[in-house]
Amino acid sequence: MTRLQRGLVDNCFEEGHYESGIAVLEQLRDLKHMPSQSHIRQLLYIALYPSANGKGKEKAAGHIGMPAKGTPSKHITSAVTPSMDAISAARRCLMAFASTNSPGALLRALPSYGDPGQKGADPAHFEDDAEEDSSLARESSRLKRCKDCWQMLKEGFLRPQTDGMGLIPGSPSKRRRMDAPVYHHSHNNDLSAAVVGTNAWPVLEWLLYLFEADERKMLDDGHPRYSPLLLSHISPPRSEAGAKWAADAPLDVAFYCLQQETPLKRLLGARLLTLMINLTATTLLDLPLFLNLVLTDFMSRNCHLDDIFALLPTTSTVLKFKLALCQRYLSDSSSTRPPASTRVRPRAQPRPIPSRARKAQADEANESISNASANEAPRPDTVSILSTRPLPAASDILNLVTSASAGSLPLADEARFELVATYGLLQTQTSQEGRSADWSAMVQDGRLARAIEDAFAHEREHEGNGRSTQEMKDTLLAMMSIW
- pLDDT tens for residues 17-35? 999 999 999 999 988 888 9
Residue 190 inside a domain? The answer is: no
Answer yes or no: are the C-beta atoms of 427 and 483 closer than 8 Å.
Answer: yes
pLDDT exceeds cutoff 50 at 189: no
Domain range for 229 is 200-303
Whether residue 14 is found in the same domain as residue 159? yes
When pLDDT is cut at 50, 70 and 90, the band that residue 459 belongs to is confident
Residue 356 inside a domain? The answer is: no
Distance CA 70, CA 31 (A): 43
Whether residue 211 is found in the same domain as residue 270? yes
Distance CA 254, CA 282 (A): 20
Contacts of 394 by beta carbon, 8 Å cutoff, 6+ apart: 423, 436, 438, 439, 442
Residue 411 has a pLDDT of 86
Residue 188 inside a domain? The answer is: no
Residue 351 inside a domain? The answer is: no
Mean pLDDT (the chain) is 78
Residue 90 inside a domain? The answer is: yes
Residue 184 inside a domain? The answer is: no
* Number of structural domains the chain divides into: 3
Answer yes or no: are the C-beta atoms of 309 and 270 closer than 8 Å.
Answer: no
Whether residue 166 is found in the same domain as residue 256? no
Question: What does the H/E/C string look like for 387-449?
Answer: CCCCCCCHHHHHHHHHCCHHHHCCCHHHHHHHHHHHHHHHHHHCCHHHCCHHHHHHHHHCHHH
Whether residue 153 is found in the same domain as residue 229? no
Range among 60-64, 167-171, 252-256 rated most confident: 252-256
Whether residue 411 is found in the same domain as residue 449? yes
Residue 123 inside a domain? The answer is: no
Distance CA 343, CA 321 (A): 24
Cα dihedral value 467, 473, 474, 475, nearest 10: 70
DSSP codes, 117-129: T--SEE-TTS--P
Whether residue 56 is found in the same domain as residue 85? yes
CA triple 112-113-114, angle to 5 deg: 115
What is the mean predicted confidence (pLDDT) over 347-372?
A: 45
Distances (CA, A) of 362 to 292, 358, 380, 401: 21, 6, 14, 31
DSSP codes, 351-379: -S--HHHHHHHHHHHHHHHHHH-STTPPP
Beta bridge partners of 386: 282
Whether residue 19 is found in the same domain as residue 49? yes
Whether residue 397 is found in the same domain as residue 424? yes
| Chain mean position to CA 47 | 19
Q: Which of 188-197, 243-252, 349-358 has the lowest mean pLDDT?
A: 349-358
Whether residue 453 is found in the same domain as residue 331? yes
Q: Which of 31-35, 178-182, 195-199, 437-441 has the lowest mean pLDDT?
A: 178-182
Whether residue 100 is found in the same domain as residue 9? yes
Domain's final residue, options 244, 276, 303: 303
Whether residue 279 is found in the same domain as residue 333? no
Higher pLDDT, 353 or 433: 433
Distance CA 350, CA 239 (A): 10
Sign of the Cα torsion 144, 148, 149, 152 reads negative
Residue 122 inside a domain? The answer is: no
What is the mean predicted confidence (pLDDT) over 420-432?
A: 93
Whether residue 470 is found in the same domain as residue 390? yes
